[in-house]
């Protein structure tokens, strides 16, 4: 297979990469499991913690009066809020009904999402978390002959599944600002089955503006009209960059482009497993065909509808996160660390030492930060943003952990 031979491109899916596949198998679960796996726990069946416990139950029990600070999985520390919890409670009477029979039913959630994005219900496909959307996209759009083009580092669900299926993967290293390197993606996009564009990008927290994304889409379509572009806007609600806007209208007006969204981040429902895709009917049809039927619980359906009908709650959540983000960025900069320009509910920080060193040290003080993100595991850590109170405590821990070796004013 012809590959541009520059060092930052890697073509995976050949026999040479089998050991990496094994590593990915261990790492491929969702965020909490990836964290758990890295801590030497088995990420397999039956090894997890309490339902809703965040994947840390296999760790030693917390001393009395100590609360763990979980800033490892880019979750909303406050959960979904009272309006949504009330909607869930209000739906208990429907728990025995399938989501296509319940009131409100799954179709009402689809209609609510469609109305929000000025789309038709047939433009919307639900998923059990946006992870199902991403996995379905790999199954639907890549083949052994039609590669995945994705970032490095980026959210790995697509990468992991494509590799397991033996479909080739082009991993394109982020640019010097830790943004998804769109120019380098264009160099390998011809003939690709799917481009995965995580915007903002997890774990690097950077974002591209709408004009840049629109230009990129146009160029991909010129070079490789049959390539499908998946724009994952999981962290959309947290973006403050004025150049950014959603690609929803772009997806609805352009063939082979669709946007993925999730209720797992700002909406505070990671445990509820609700995500969706929006695009032109012909584009999202393969997702609809491959999706698991009625995979969202009736409680999730009611929760999703209630959440979308409460936009003020999301505005407040964005403001809260922005304030915490400013505080944490400044605190880390004061310690000589260099965070990227974050538009998410997490930071990607040059800590001048391996992530594992900081992670292990923080864990001793019951602060759980993100796992390794190759190729930057030797220098960068991903730190999710908790509540202000949590981050004040966490920063005190960071100070202890980072001060001994961090030279003042320089993290590189």
Helices 18-27/31-38 angle, 10° precision = 110
Q: How far is CA 301 from CA 43, 56, 100, 105, in A?
A: 29, 28, 10, 7
Q: Is 192 in the site for another protein (CB under 8 A)?
A: no
Find the DSSP H helices in 69-209. Answer: 82-90, 106-116, 130-141, 157-164, 182-186
* 213 closest CA partner among 265, 152, 257, 277: 257
Q: Is 142 in the site for another protein (CB under 8 A)?
A: no
Binding mask 319-358 for another protein (x = CB under 8 A): ----------------------------------------
* 383 closest CA partner among 358, 353, 346: 346
Q: How far is the CB of 306 from another protein (least distance, A)?
A: 12
Joined together, the tokens standing for residue 185 give 């993606």
Gap between the terminal Cα atoms of the chain: 36
The C-alpha atoms of residue 321 and residue 74 are separated, in whole angstroms, by 11
Q: Is 271 in the site for another protein (CB under 8 A)?
A: yes
Which residue number, 32 or 192, has a Cβ lying nearer to another protein? 32
Which residue number, 71 or 188, has a Cβ lying nearer to another protein? 71
What is the DSSP code string of 163-189?
HHTT--EEEEE--TTS---HHHHHTT-
Q: Is 365 in the site for another protein (CB under 8 A)?
A: no
The C-alpha atoms of residue 141 and residue 261 are separated, in whole angstroms, by 18
Q: How far is the CB of 265 from another protein (least distance, A)?
A: 9
Q: Is 31 in the site for another protein (CB under 8 A)?
A: yes
| Tokens 């000025």, residue located | 118
Residue 212, strand partner residues: none
Q: Is 132 in the site for another protein (CB under 8 A)?
A: yes
Q: How far is the CB of 44 from another protein (least distance, A)?
A: 6
Which residue number, 30 or 399, has a Cβ lying nearer to another protein? 30
Residues 275-294 that bind another protein (CB under 8 A): 281, 285, 288-294
Joined together, the tokens standing for residue 141 give 């759009």
Per CB under 8 A, the list member of 167, 173, 273, 380 interacting with another protein is 273
Which residue number, 96 or 407, has a Cβ lying nearer to another protein? 96
Q: How far is the CB of 410 from another protein (least distance, A)?
A: 35
Residues 152-181 that bind another protein (CB under 8 A): 164
Q: How far is the CB of 332 from another protein (least distance, A)?
A: 24
Residues 96-125 that bind another protein (CB under 8 A): 96-102, 105-107, 110, 121-122, 124-125
Contact 386, 374 (CB under 8 A): no
Alpha carbon of residue 188 to chain centroid = 23
Joined together, the tokens standing for residue 369 give 């930060």
Per CB under 8 A, the list member of 104, 193, 268, 339 interacting with another protein is 268
Which residue number, 68 or 333, has a Cβ lying nearer to another protein? 68
Which residue number, 223 or 288, has a Cβ lying nearer to another protein? 288
Which residue number, 15 or 293, has a Cβ lying nearer to another protein? 293
* 367 closest CA partner among 77, 71, 78: 71
Q: How far is the CB of 76 from another protein (least distance, A)?
A: 5
The C-alpha atoms of residue 107 and residue 126 are separated, in whole angstroms, by 10
Which residue number, 71 or 406, has a Cβ lying nearer to another protein? 71
Residues 34-93 that bind another protein (CB under 8 A): 36, 43-57, 70, 73, 75-82, 85, 88-89, 91-93
Per CB under 8 A, the list member of 152, 197, 231, 299 interacting with another protein is 299
Q: Is 300 in the site for another protein (CB under 8 A)?
A: yes
């Amino acid at each position: 297979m012809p590959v541009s031979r520059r060092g930052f491109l890697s073509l995976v899916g050949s026999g040479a990469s089998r050991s990496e596949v094994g590593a990915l198998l261990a790492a491929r679960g969702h965020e909490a499991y990836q964290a758990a796996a890295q801590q030497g726990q088995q990420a397999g069946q039956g090894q997890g913690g309490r339902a809703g416990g965040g994947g840390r139950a296999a760790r030693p029990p917390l001393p009395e009066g100590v609360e763990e600070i979980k800033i490892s999985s880019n979750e909303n520390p406050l959960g979904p809020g009272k309006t949504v919890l009330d909607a869930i409670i209000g739906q208990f009477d429907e728990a025995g009904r399938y989501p296509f029979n319940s009131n409100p039913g799954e179709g009402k959630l689809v209609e609510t999402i469609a109305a929000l994005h000025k789309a038709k219900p047939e433009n919307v496909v639900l998923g059990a978390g946006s992870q199902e959307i991403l996995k379905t996209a790999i199954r639907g759009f890549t083949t052994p002959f039609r590669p995945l083009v994705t970032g490095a580092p980026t959210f790995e669900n697509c990468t992991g599944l494509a590799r397991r299926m033996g479909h080739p993967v082009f991993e394109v290293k982020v640019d010097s600002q830790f943004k998804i390197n769109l120019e380098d993606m264009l160099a390998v996009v011809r003939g690709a089955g799917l481009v995965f564009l995580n915007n903002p990008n997890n774990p690097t927290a950077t974002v591209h503006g709408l004009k840049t994304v629109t230009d990129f889409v146009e160029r991909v379509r010129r070079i490789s009209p049959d390539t499908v572009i998946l724009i994952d806007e999981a962290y959309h609600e947290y973006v403050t960059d004025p150049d950014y806007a959603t690609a929803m209208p772009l997806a609805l007006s352009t063939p082979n482009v669709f946007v993925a969204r999730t209720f797992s981040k700002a909406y505070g429902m990671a445990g509820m497993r609700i995500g969706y895709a929006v695009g032109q009917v012909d584009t999202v049809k393969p997702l609809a065909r491959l999706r698991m039927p009625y995979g969202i619980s009736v409680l999730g359906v009611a929760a999703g509808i209630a959440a979308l009908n409460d936009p003020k709650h999301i505005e407040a959540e964005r403001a809260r996160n922005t304030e915490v983000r400013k505080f944490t960025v400044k605190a880390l900069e004061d310690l000589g660390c260099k965070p990227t320009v974050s538009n998410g509910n997490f930071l990607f920080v040059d800590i001048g030492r391996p992530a594992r060193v900081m992670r292990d040290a923080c864990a001793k003080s019951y602060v759980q930060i993100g796992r390794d993100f190759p190729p930057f595991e030797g220098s960068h850590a991903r730190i999710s943003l908790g509540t202000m109170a949590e981050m004040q405590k966490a920063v005190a821990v960071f100070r202890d952990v980072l001060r001994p070796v961090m030279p003042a004013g320089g993290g590189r």
